[in-house]
Each structure stands twice: as C-alpha cells, then as structure tokens.
Amino acid sequence: MQQLHLIVHPESLTLRGNQDIKTRDGHFAVRVKDYKQTLTYLKSQGIEVEEKPYSKSGFSQIFCSDPDGNLIEFNVEQRDLNV
C-alpha cells in the first residue's frame, strides 16, 4: 500500500529555512515496520524528533527534519504499535 499526503495549510512553508518540526508543514511519509526500533535509531544518531504515537490521524508517527530542513514522517498503524 502506498499513500500520498496532500495537506492544505496556508501557513506552511515549502522551502523551509530551519530545522523546526512543524507537523503540518509539507512533508513526505515513510511507512516503517517497527515504531520503537525506528525511534531508537533516530535518537541514537542524535536526530531531534517529535513523537506522536497516538496521533488523531490513526497512525503512530515520528517526525524529524533532514539536514536541509525537509520534514519527514515515519509511521505505523496504531494497531501495530510496539512501544
């Protein structure tokens, strides 16, 4: 299964000039197998994350920024959450 999130949020930035994690800004999402393993790996690399394990979206989400400031979401179905 593949998804493309299309979000209309007038205040979001497409070309972000910072590393701030604003989950409503434009981003792409990657489905992962294991929420906890992904979170542990990102933190072990010193990557700042925002955790949303019980997001209203129905997904357990992890947000972070890449070195260029692009926002990335990693997610699993909440029913598959292994925390």
Ordered per-residue pLDDT tens for the chain, 83 residues:
666 666 666 666 556 566 677 777 778 889 999 999 999 999 999 999 999 999 988 899 999 988 777 889 999 999 877 65
Q: Find the radius of gyration of the CA atoms of the chain.
A: 13
Which CATH number applies to 27-80? 3.10.180.10
Sequence letter at residue 37: Q
Sequence letter at residue 55: S
Q: What residues does each domain of the chain span?
A: 27-80
Return the pLDDT at 1. Answer: 66
